[in-house]
Amino acid sequence: MTGQTKPASYCTDRKWKGRADCSHCGIRRLMLFSELPEVSFAHLLKPIDNFVLVPGGILYEEGKGGEVVYSIRRGLVKLMHSKPSGEQRIVRLLGQGAVVGLELLDAGVPYQHTAMAVQPVDVCAIPVSTLRDLEAHHPELCDRIRQQLQYHVDRADHWIKTLNTGVARDRIAQLLLLLTELAPDRNGDIQLLPRDDMAAVVGMTPETASRIIADFRRRGLLAKIAPGTYRIEKQRLQRLCEANAGTE
């Protein structure tokens, strides 16, 4: 139970990096366990595994049972709901510090979304039972979990307000601004999403998303830095969204 043995769930789109060493985690201040004393990690019954996923890699699938939640150390994850018609609607984009799969804390409830990496992702898989054990001895963890859920609520509300309201152009602009918040590289540039993902985020067709992106590029609001990497004119995009009567 203690050796560095690859877990059974190992597969091609998920690369195991080892057991997580929470007490030496470089970004623990951002994470779920930020307030826990180091000694608490010494005698966990189940291991916390650390994974890397390539874009397209699946963390978990809607409707399936499971026993781990994922804490995102790096990268960008999309949460999707599938509609009766079969198509997928993206309901959230999450980056560093977010925890996904917390719905499992209600006993018997399966994952509510399909969670997929849209950029290379580094996650820790925390067993629900471990969470419950730690919670029993550290009531402050309960607050951290509550804050995580509140974060999801706030994100969802902001999503409804900014990404699902108004004309197509403004919604795409808001999406670009969101990407700048969630997943900027060291220069503040962003990786654009595939057009179908953009469409599934804001609720339009990929063609319309493509037209708007092309238009933004022609107008210099968006400049290609490298394949997939773009620099955005943040302030001009913000003005674009707020003033709908602008002369832009």
Instruction: Please return the burial class of 172, using the count of CB atoms within 10 Å of its CB with bins 0-12, 13-18 and 19+.
Output: buried
What token pair was written down for 178? 């969101």
- Interacting positions 192-221 with DNA (CB under 7 A): 194-196, 203-208, 210-211, 213-214, 217
Residue (54 or 102) nearer to a second copy, CB = 102
Residue numbers 185-214 binding a second copy by CB under 8 A: 203
| Contact (CB, 8 A) for 124 and 50 | yes
Cα–Cα distance measured from residue 64 to residue 80, given in angstroms and rounded to the nearest whole number? 14
* Member of 142, 214, 223, 226 binding a second copy (CB under 8 A): 142
Q: Which of 106, 187, 218, 227 touches a second copy by CB under 8 A?
A: 106
How many whole angstroms separate alpha carbon 117 and alpha carbon 128? 21
Where in 169-188 is the site for DNA (CB under 7 A)?
169
Q: Which residues of 88-108 are buried (b: 16+ CB within 10 A; e: fewer)?
A: bebbbbbbbbbbbbbebeeee
Tokens 């700048």, located at residue: 180
Query: DSSP alpha helices (H): ranges in the chain?
Result: 128-137, 139-163, 168-182, 195-202, 206-218, 234-242
Using CB under 7 A as the binding rule, whether residue 228 contacts DNA is answered as yes
What strands lie across the sheet with 58-60, from one edge to the other? 58-60, 114-117, 77-82, 88-94
The answer to the question of residue 54 lying near DNA (CB under 7 A) is no
Residue 210, binding choice from DNA, a second copy, none, Cβ under 5 to 8 Å by partner class: DNA
Interface segment toward a second copy; rule CB under 8 A; list 7-15, 163-171, 186-194, 220-228: 163-171
Task: DSSP letter for 11, please.
Answer: B
- In this complex, which beta carbon is closest to a second copy, that of residue 25 or of residue 93? 93
- Contact flag: residue 58 with a second copy (CB under 8 A): no
Question: Binding partner of residue 167 among a second copy, DNA, none, CB under 5 to 8 Å per kind?
Answer: DNA
Cβ nearer to DNA, comparing 146 with 217: 217
Which residues are near a second copy by CB under 8 A? 79, 81, 83-85, 89, 91-92, 102-103, 105-106, 112-113, 139, 142, 145-147, 149-150, 152-154, 156-157, 159-161, 164-166, 203, 241-242, 244
Please give the residue ranges that form the binding site for DNA (CB under 7 A). Answer: 167-169, 194-196, 203-208, 210-211, 213-214, 217, 227-228
